[in-house]
Amino acid sequence: MNTHTFRSVTYPLRLYSGVDALNALPDEVKRAGARRVVVICGHSVATKTDLLDRIAQLLGKSYIGAYSQMSKDSSWPAVRDAHAYAQEQQADLLIALGGGSVIVATRVVAILLGETGDPFDLMTQYPPGKPAFSPRLNAPKPPIINVVTTPTSAMCRAGSGLKNDDLDHRMEFYDPKTRPCALFWDSRALQSAPVELIRSTATTTFCGALRALAADLNPLVQGSRRQAFHLVQRALPRILTEPDNAELRLDLCAAAFLENRAADDDQGRRRQRDSVSAHSYALATALHIRYEHVWQGESTTSVMPTVTRLTPPDSLEQARTIATALGIEAEHLNAQSAADASAEKLTEIFSGLGMPVRLRELQIPQGDLPLLATDTLKNFNANPGGRTEDYVASMQTLLAAAW
């Protein structure tokens, strides 16, 4: 009965997908009662696509303007400037136009528009010798609409992490009121992203969907996660040979969305990660936050085979489930043999996609490994509890093996 005793939360959301999906944007703005809409996006979307012009034409007088300098990994200076711009324009609705960095940044802009406290007091706190905690952010927030250009799992979450070079960790925020009221998978918007970026984002989804299969699943979660993995496993290899196939990009969006829905349908355990997932996420985050040239997908593939091989499986059943999902006959393998076979298969899959499987392929200096290990300490999604020297040492061992 354990897997059938659960709590599920469904959040209000309207989703529009496919050809000219963006044409429904004015209806959503009107439904929200907004009259002063500000768009947040990156420079490439603003200058190399017609998406801002489309939005401006669709919204007419309710479109006030755009902050178009959002940076990779949602840097604090860019978010601070975007907030100042939105506040100056008296924005009553925000549109995130882009990928994960833009969507995450827009959530924090909404938090800063609603809350009156110091941003450094509003973010997740790491008191010495105690578990990390996220302050409750109770003030109302302006509604958000996400128009995605990549199949990012950030599209409908509530947590946000910003890069800040002046701190020893990301600025992390959590506020369910920053979930979008509407989500757009417009085929033309998705086709505007380079296929390499789609590959990177989708590979991150693939890794998360794979590891999630091994958890104890209630029926709702099981359905979402199995379909998510099926979609991404099928679409990811094809996207490289069919870069103009919008349906593949939409399937990858659906996979990321289902992974998020699975977390909502597994209330109480959604922050739990198996050891391989937690270690891979911590290491990958440290990499793509520290190095401007490294994307999240590439940082993940560069460490996951090694982490899979060297991290003892949480259980025999888990190890066999992961191996079987990768097409390995695992029925008679012991836990470590199944993990070894999975690591080898992941190396084959990632290499076939043209993704790195070693840190040195990312041009990461070997001398930076101790610094990267320390960077993993304060990462709420991977390690909200103990932050010890032993943990740092284990991360450095994994980095050395992955290099």
Report the CATH number at residue 67. 3.40.50.1970
- The two tokens of residue 20 are 């000219």
Examine residue 136 and state whether it is found in any structural domain, yes or no. Answer: yes
- Does 244 lie in the same domain as 287? no
Examine residue 174 and state whether it is found in any structural domain, yes or no. Answer: yes
Q: Are strands 144-148 and 93-98 parallel, antiparallel or unpaired?
A: parallel
Distance (Å, whole) CA 223 – CA 259: 10
Examine residue 2 and state whether it is found in any structural domain, yes or no. Answer: no
Residue where one domain finishes, among candidates 221, 245, 272 = 272
Q: Which residue range(s) make up the domain with 184?
A: 14-191
Average pLDDT over residues 143-162: 96
- With a cut of 60, say whether residue 271 has pLDDT above it: no
Examine residue 224 and state whether it is found in any structural domain, yes or no. Answer: yes
- Does 216 lie in the same domain as 72? no
- Does 310 lie in the same domain as 394? yes
- The two tokens of residue 163 are 């890069």
pLDDT value for 270: 46
In this prediction, residue 3 has a pLDDT band, given cuts at 50, 70 and 90, of: confident
Residue where one domain finishes, among candidates 191, 210, 244 = 191
- Does 164 lie in the same domain as 223? no
Examine residue 165 and state whether it is found in any structural domain, yes or no. Answer: yes
In this predicted model, what pLDDT tens digit does every residue of 93-143 receive, in sequence order?
A: 999 999 999 999 999 999 999 999 999 999 999 998 888 999 999 999 999
- With a cut of 60, say whether residue 269 has pLDDT above it: no
If one counts the domains in the chain, the total is 3
CB 91 within 8 A of CB 142: yes
Examine residue 340 and state whether it is found in any structural domain, yes or no. Answer: no
Examine residue 398 and state whether it is found in any structural domain, yes or no. Answer: yes
In this prediction, residue 254 has a pLDDT band, given cuts at 50, 70 and 90, of: very high
CB 257 within 8 A of CB 156: yes
Give the 3-state secondary structure of residue 201: helix
Distance (Å, whole) CA 313 – CA 315: 5
- Among the listed ranges 47-61, 120-134, 244-258, 355-369, which one has the minimum average pLDDT value? 120-134
In this prediction, residue 1 has a pLDDT band, given cuts at 50, 70 and 90, of: low
In this predicted model, what pLDDT tens digit does every residue of 301-340 receive, in sequence order?
A: 999 999 999 999 989 999 999 999 999 999 999 999 999 9
Residue where one domain finishes, among candidates 254, 272, 290 = 272
Distance (Å, whole) CA 102 – CA 256: 16
- Does 253 lie in the same domain as 281? no
Contacts of 266 (CB under 8 A, 6+ apart): 6, 8, 215, 217, 218, 220, 221
pLDDT value for 7: 78
- Does 26 lie in the same domain as 123? yes
In this prediction, residue 5 has a pLDDT band, given cuts at 50, 70 and 90, of: confident
pLDDT value for 221: 87
Average pLDDT over residues 182-211: 97
Closest CA to 97 of 58, 137, 124: 58
> CA 354, 358, 359, 365 torsion: positive or negative?
negative
Distance (Å, whole) CA 108 – CA 123: 10
In this predicted model, what pLDDT tens digit does every residue of 358-394 receive, in sequence order?
A: 999 999 999 999 999 999 988 887 777 666 778 899 9
- Does 167 lie in the same domain as 64? yes
- Chain mean pLDDT for the chain: 94
- Does 172 lie in the same domain as 42? yes
Closest CA to 173 of 105, 113, 127: 105
Average pLDDT over residues 70-76: 93
Q: What is the DSSP string of 228-290?
A: HHHHHHHHHHHHHH-TT-HHHHHHHHHHHHHHHHHHHTTTTSTT---HHHHHHHHHHHHHHHH
